[in-house]
Amino acid sequence: MKKKWFIKSFISFALPIFVVILLFGASTIYFVYNSVLKEINKNNENLLNQVRTNVETILSEVNSLSLNFEFYTKTSEYTDYVEASNSTPEKRKVEQEMFNFINTLANSRMYIHSIYVYINNSNNSFIVSNEGKLKPEQFLDKNWLEDAKELEQKESMTWIKHREVSRYSFEQPTSVITAYRKLYIGLKQVGTVALNINASYLDERLSTLNLLQGQEISIYSEDGEKIYTFIYGSTSDNTQK
């Protein structure tokens, strides 16, 4: 009898306490979950802003590069020299100055693999950073000139795509993101500049961000083509295949 009375009294006393604890615990869990979720969303938003800033800063380099060349080709009248059949001291001087300019830029930016500059000419010759003036048959990476010609037929000013390039036959292909941009003097298109960006540099920069294991970041071109993918913690090549 006493045992039944004790159990009944215990239940009557303890049950309200258990209900209160359960409700309090549930509300606490809900509050913590929402706080954590908001913090994760905030961190992800900050992460995306960091990624966008990093990528936009790098890709915008081709715009400033092309503007410099547009100004330079206009002031130096390089388009008049480029079609000259004979090599003159003035022509060699202008070409050397342009060559020095792209060398300085390419060698001072860790993320730049190389820079190509094409000014319209009948020989299809172009200038390559740290190489000089070359003809297509003298250079292994010939596809870039085909892309430059294709860009001429497009309405857009720029074109960004992923490529695997080798500048020499003994060299392993390097993953690059190539940013092409048309060169103009006034309203006349006079050529194309190509900025090759090391994809490995983007890997290194994104690896320093506060990401979750397996988190994926992809970069798409304006026409929807995937040009780069980074997977945090992946040991394989993150660049778009």
What is the average pLDDT across 65-75? 62
Question: Distance between CA 57 and CA 144 in Å, rounded?
Answer: 23
| Residue 214 domain flag | no
Residues 129 and 116 in one domain: yes
What is the average pLDDT across 20-44? 62
Residues 113 and 186 in one domain: yes
pTM for the model stands at 0.74
Residues 81 and 175 in one domain: yes
Question: Distance between CA 207 and CA 198 in Å, rounded?
Answer: 15
| Residue 223 domain flag | no
Residues 97 and 184 in one domain: yes
User: What would the pLDDT profile of 173-220 be if each residue is shown by its tens digit?
Assistant: 999 999 898 888 777 788 888 999 999 988 887 777 767 788 788 888
Q: Quick one: tokens of 153?
A: 């037929």
User: What would the pLDDT profile of 120-155 be if each residue is shown by its tens digit?
Assistant: 888 888 989 999 889 899 999 989 999 999 998 888
Give how many domains the chain has, as a whole number.
Answer: 2
Mean of pLDDT over the chain: 76
Residues 142 and 48 in one domain: no
β-strand partners of 192: 118, 182
What is the average pLDDT across 37-42? 66
pLDDT of residue 167: 76
Residues 52 and 78 in one domain: no
Domain stop point among 23, 43, 59: 59
pLDDT of residue 128: 93
Range of the domain at 108: 63-201
Closest CA to 188 of 136, 222, 152, 151: 152
Q: Is 60 exceeded by the pLDDT of residue 83?
A: no
pLDDT of residue 82: 56
Closest CA to 179 of 162, 200, 163, 159: 159
Residues 7 and 44 in one domain: yes
| CATH code at position 114 | 3.30.450.20
| Residue 209 domain flag | no
pLDDT of residue 174: 92
More confident residue, 28 or 119: 119
